[in-house]
Amino acid sequence: MKFALLCSGGKDGWFAAWCAVHSGLEMVNAITVIPTNPDSELMHSVNSKFVGEQARSAGIGWISREAGEGEELRVLEELIGRAKTKGVEAIVSGAVESEYQKRRFEIVCEKAGVRSFSPLWRKNQKTLLDDEIAIGIEATIVSVSAEGLGKEMLGGKLSECKTKIMRAADERGVSPIGEGGEFETFVCDCPLFSCPLEVVEKEVDWHGTSGRLNITKLVAKSPLPRTRGI
């Protein structure tokens, strides 16, 4: 079965894709709805315009479009329709805990006539974080917005920030995978990529106790020998 990955560029989406590929599905596209509202409850927007570079490294197509406030689901349905013309039969997402998000994705998929698959749903969050790092996902922290997580984390690797994230989870109740928006990531490498990506230019926007790292230039590094999907 061919699937498209609903992807904003973060670790959960690409780990979900890895799980789907290892269950025997074929990934052919990435779909990105880019919200103009940075506080959208459905879609993340931080650096999602660079998902196309991830898709290129993964050897798949990329379908994307901006969506104004309240338009995200309508635009998503439109993009899924375009993906169906390429043979897509299922949409894979990295939903973990949000019933609001998952249910709305399911409704859109049902209307579009495709299946919805969320392989990370209700998995233990600490285990998910361990597994994402263990399979070789290299993600850069691009947003933080929670007590216990500071400005110094922006631009840091997920694996290097794990100890601080786990401490914040134990002491302050922060989601270990940033499910509540406590932090967001952008994947620069994973086992599905043919070559890693490198952030070469960036800007930090920090206000009070939260902020984001905006990527301004991203380049593909020399291809590394690897077996796709392993």
192-209 pLDDT tens trace: 999 999 999 999 999 988
- Go through the chain and tell me how many residues it has: 230
The verdict on 113 and 143 lying in the same domain is: no
Considering 117, 139, 165, which residue would you say is the last residue of a domain?
117
The whole-number pLDDT of residue 38 equals 80
Is residue 90, in this structure, part of any structural domain at all? yes
How many independent structural domains does the chain possess?
A: 2
State which residues form the domain around 173: 125-220
pTM for this prediction: 0.94
7-29: pLDDT as tens digits: 999 999 999 999 999 999 999 99
Enumerate helices (H) and strands (E) in the chain, giving the number of each. 6, 9
Residue-wise pLDDT for 86-111, tens only, equals 899 999 999 999 999 999 999 999 99
Complete DSSP assignment for 16-39 = HHHHHHHTT-EEEEEEEEEESSTT
Band (pLDDT 50/70/90 cuts) for residue 223 is low
- Is the predicted pLDDT of residue 227 greater than 60, yes or no? no
**Of 217, 216, 193, 221, nearest in space to 5 by CA:** 193
Which helix (H) or strand (E) segment holds residue 66: the answer is: strand 61-67
* 130 and 96 in a common domain: no
Distance, CA of 85 to CA of 126 (rounded, Å): 38
CA gap 55, 50 in Å, rounded: 9
Shared-domain flag, residues 109 and 133: no
Quote the pLDDT of residue 109.
Answer: 97
41 and 138 part of one domain: no
